[in-house]
Amino acid sequence: MAITNRVPFEDKDFEQEQKRKIIEVKNISFQYSSQQQAVLQNIDLHLHSNEFVCVLGPSGCGKSSLLNIIAGFQKPTTGEVQIEGKHYSKPISEIGVVFQHHNLFPWMKIKENVGFGLKMKGHSKEEIEKQVHHFLQLVQLESAGDLLPHQLSGGMKQRAAIARTLAADPKAILMDEPFSSLDALTKENMQHHLLLLWSETKKTIFFITHDVDEALRLGTRILVMQPNPGKIAIDMANPLKRNNPAAVDFHHKEFQELRSYLIGAIKTS
Amino acid sequence: MEKLSFEISKEVKFRGISIVSVVVLVIIWAIVTHFEWVDPYFIPKPLEVWSSFVVLLSEGYKGASLFTHIANSMYRLFTALFLAFITAVPLGLLCGYSKYIRAIFDPIIEFYRPLPPLAYYALLVLWLGIENESKIALLFLSGFAPLFIATAAAVEKLPADRMNASLSLGATKRQLFQYIILPSCYPDILTGLRTSIGVTYATLVAAEMVAATNGIGWMVLDASRYLRSDIVFVGIILMGIIAIGLDSLLRFYQARRFSWVGK
């Protein structure tokens, strides 16, 4: 699979596409009633179509809380989130979530897991079967459809979880350190898969990680959050992705510079 | 594959040890009774127990066949379990869902649960007579609590991420219940049912010993009045075998249907 040869869209389209807002986070604050310090304070954030946003930050900076609020799992203390201009405050199928733990339904076969979203929306059996086949192929799990989740390896489970989220056809996908529990080799393989999927499906992705290399490799845009109270300290386009969003040269001088810059930003917080 | 065959051979080994243990016990029993170290009125010989069993099979006990006695007991047991299941599971689900509803039922269930069933059996007999109704009511009450508690606990320990995941995939509240909450609880409900069968079974024998004219428990008690320890032995061994049989059936089903639990 020569993904380095792929250029999913021209630079010019890229700029235009950038302008369409998918998710708007409007002046979000979040605070536990038992605590003095706010977890998040006055967060404003727009996620655009076709954007791969990677979020870095030390633990306790509120990045998971932010994800939970965007997912509709948690209500903000103040402010609101909108999807394409519409306010929402509970989980919706337009926003898919991939968890750190795969969270597949353990009693369902992989194909039933992947088809779950379509089944909930009342699609016909044939339609579900067709879609499930397509998405299993996309994550290279065609042969695992009839297995139960516990029969799969860690990387396969996470791929199945991604297929399940994609199959429900969300407008944006939120991922909370989805590869952090995988070994280095599987992780790299998964990053490769994800980039491929992203360029094929053109979904907006909001991706939390604590791995700077991962953020630089995947993100078209990188956020760094800082704690006490949680806020966005850096919001930048990833210059390494300017020409070829699908491939990043780890040995490039620019990469090394960016890497130290981001690590510095995370540490000072 | 190698690991699997290793596990099977280990399984066979443990099974073998268990069989040897039972055989040794029977041999000790045979020796002790053969030399009459204990009064034969207290412990009959294994062969005598066997021949009593054969006689019971052909002639029954006091006007009813052995099968009828067992069937009467099983009828009481399963009617009560069925009633417990169709009430305890929905109520358990409801109480697991809502702390308010749980607060209503908790004190009642927590109060009667630790009571010895025979303590309130007197009341039930007073209200419902000595026929099947009072027994079934008693068994129902003893089977209800463990099933209710297991079901409510199963709902409460449901992982929030699992529910969030299904909502994000577009499930409605109703679909969430039908496709996620209910199947998530099945294994724990089945475990609760196993506990419930155990408790109900123990209560059944006790209930038949207090007021009854048939049933396997009654047979044992009645035989003991006439010092027929051979029949008592037959009764006890039969009760044990039935209990093991019932539980193995459920365990077998559990292992097949819920192979995913804990993985």
The pTM of this model reads: 0.81
Q: Please, are residues A16 and A171 in contact by the beta-carbon 8 Å criterion?
A: no
**Residue B36, Cβ neighbours under 10 Å: how many?**
10
**pLDDT value, residue A244:** 62
Listed by number, the residues of chain A in 132-151 with a beta carbon closer than 8 Å to a beta carbon of chain B are 148-150
Distance between CA A185 and CA A140 in Å, rounded? 17
- Residue A177 exposure: Cα atoms within 13 Å on the Cβ side: 15
With CA atoms as reference, the chain B residue closest to A165 would be B169
Which of B169, B180, B184 comes nearest A117 by C-beta?
A: B169
Q: Please, are residues A61 and A87 in contact by the beta-carbon 8 Å criterion?
A: no
Which of A97, A101, A148 comes nearest B168 by C-beta?
A: A97
Query: Which one is predicted more confidently, A149 or B7?
Result: A149
pLDDT beneath 50, residues of chain A = 1-14
- pLDDT tens-place string over residues A50-98: 899 999 988 888 889 999 999 999 999 999 999 998 899 899 999 999 9
Both B119 and B12 in one domain: the answer is: no
Q: Is residue B195, in this structure, part of any structural domain at all?
A: yes
Q: Which residues pair with A53 in a beta bridge?
A: A206, A221
The CA-based angle B168-B172-B176, given to 5 degrees, is 85
Distance between CA B135 and CA B129 in Å, rounded? 9
Q: Is residue B173, in this structure, part of any structural domain at all?
A: yes
Q: Which residues pair with B61 in a beta bridge?
A: B64
Q: Please, are residues A22 and A204 in contact by the beta-carbon 8 Å criterion?
A: yes
Alpha helices by DSSP H, listed for A24-167, are 63-71, 110-120, 125-138, 154-167
Q: Is residue B5, in this structure, part of any structural domain at all?
A: yes
Q: Looking at this predicted complex, what is its ipTM? A: 0.85
Both B238 and B137 in one domain: the answer is: yes
Q: Is residue B18, in this structure, part of any structural domain at all?
A: yes
Structure tokens at A14: 């890229």
Rounded to the nearest angstrom, the minimum Cα separation between A117 and chain B is 5
For residues A117-146, one letter each, b for 16 or more C-beta atoms within 10 angstroms of the residue's C-beta and e for the rest, the string is bbbbbeeeeeebeebbeebbebbebeebbe
Tell me what the pLDDT averaged over chain B comes to.
Answer: 89
For B68: left if phi > 0, alpha if psi spans -120 to 50, otherwise beta; the answer is alpha
Q: Which residues pair with A45 in a beta bridge?
A: A25
Residue A6 CB partners (closer than 8 Å, separation 6+): A196, A199, A246
Q: Please, are residues A228 and A214 in contact by the beta-carbon 8 Å criterion?
A: no
DSSP string, A180-225: TTS-HHHHHHHHHHHHHHHHHH--EEEEE-S-HHHHHHH-SEEEEE
Both B109 and B238 in one domain: the answer is: yes
B240-263 average pLDDT score: 89
The closest of A61, A49, A180, A200 to A135, measured between CA atoms, is A200
Number of domains in chain B: 2
**pLDDT value, residue A269:** 59
Q: Give the B-side interface with A, CB within 8 Å.
A: 159-162, 164-172, 175, 179-180, 183-184, 186, 258-261, 263
Q: Is A107 on the interface with B (CB under 8 A)?
A: yes
Structure tokens at A156: 């396969």
**pLDDT value, residue A37:** 82
The closest of A269, A260, A255 to A225, measured between CA atoms, is A269
**pLDDT value, residue B87:** 96
Give the domain extent around B23: 1-38
**pLDDT value, residue B7:** 65
Instruction: Say yes or no to pLDDT of B41 above 90.
Output: no
Q: Is residue B263, in this structure, part of any structural domain at all?
A: no
Which of B170, B183, B261 comes nearest A117 by C-beta?
A: B170
Both B122 and B153 in one domain: the answer is: yes
Both B209 and B180 in one domain: the answer is: yes
What residues of chain B lie within 8 A of the CB of A101, using their CB? 161
Burial of residue B23 (number of CB atoms within 10 Å: 0-12, 13-18, 19+): exposed
The closest of A236, A238, A235, A215 to A225, measured between CA atoms, is A235
% of chain B at pLDDT higher than 90 = 59
Q: Is residue B80, in this structure, part of any structural domain at all?
A: yes
Return the H-helix or E-strand segment holding A254.
Answer: helix A253-268
Both B212 and B118 in one domain: the answer is: yes
Give the CATH number of the domain where residue B119 resides: 1.10.3720.10
Q: Is A97 on the interface with B (CB under 8 A)?
A: yes
Both B27 and B89 in one domain: the answer is: no
Cα separation of the two ends of chain A: 40
What residues of chain B lie within 8 A of the CB of A96, using their CB? 168-169
Inter-chain CB proximity B175 and A165 less than 8 Å: no
**pLDDT value, residue A246:** 57
Both B152 and B169 in one domain: the answer is: yes
DSSP string, A139-152: TT-GGGTTS-GGGS
Both B227 and B154 in one domain: the answer is: yes
Three-state DSSP state, B209: helix
Q: Is A121 on the interface with B (CB under 8 A)?
A: yes
What residues of chain B lie within 8 A of the CB of A165, using their CB? 168-169
Three-state DSSP state, A232: strand
Both B200 and B228 in one domain: the answer is: yes
Three-state DSSP state, A248: coil
Q: Which residues pair with B49 in a beta bridge?
A: none
Q: Is residue B262, in this structure, part of any structural domain at all?
A: no
B36-50 average pLDDT score: 87
DSSP state of A250: T
With CA atoms as reference, the chain B residue closest to A74 would be B164
Q: How far is CA A85 from the centre of its chain?
A: 21
Instruction: Say yes or no to pLDDT of B140 above 50.
Output: yes
**Residue B135, Cβ neighbours under 10 Å: how many?**
30
Distance between CA A186 and CA B129 in Å, rounded? 69
Inter-chain CB proximity A97 and B260 less than 8 Å: no
Inter-chain CB proximity A168 and B170 less than 8 Å: yes
Q: Please, are residues B80 and B200 in contact by the beta-carbon 8 Å criterion?
A: yes
Both B137 and B172 in one domain: the answer is: yes
Q: Please, are residues B218 and B157 in contact by the beta-carbon 8 Å criterion?
A: no
Q: Is residue B64, in this structure, part of any structural domain at all?
A: yes
What residues of chain A lie within 8 A of the CB of B183, using their CB? 105, 107
- pLDDT tens-place string over residues B65-105: 999 999 999 999 999 999 999 999 999 999 988 889 999 99
Helices and strands (H, E) in chain A, number of each type:
8, 10
For residues B58-83, one letter each, b for 16 or more C-beta atoms within 10 angstroms of the residue's C-beta and e for the rest, the string is eeebeebebeebbebbeebbbebbeb
Both B76 and B116 in one domain: the answer is: yes
The closest of A91, A98, A218, A119 to A165, measured between CA atoms, is A98
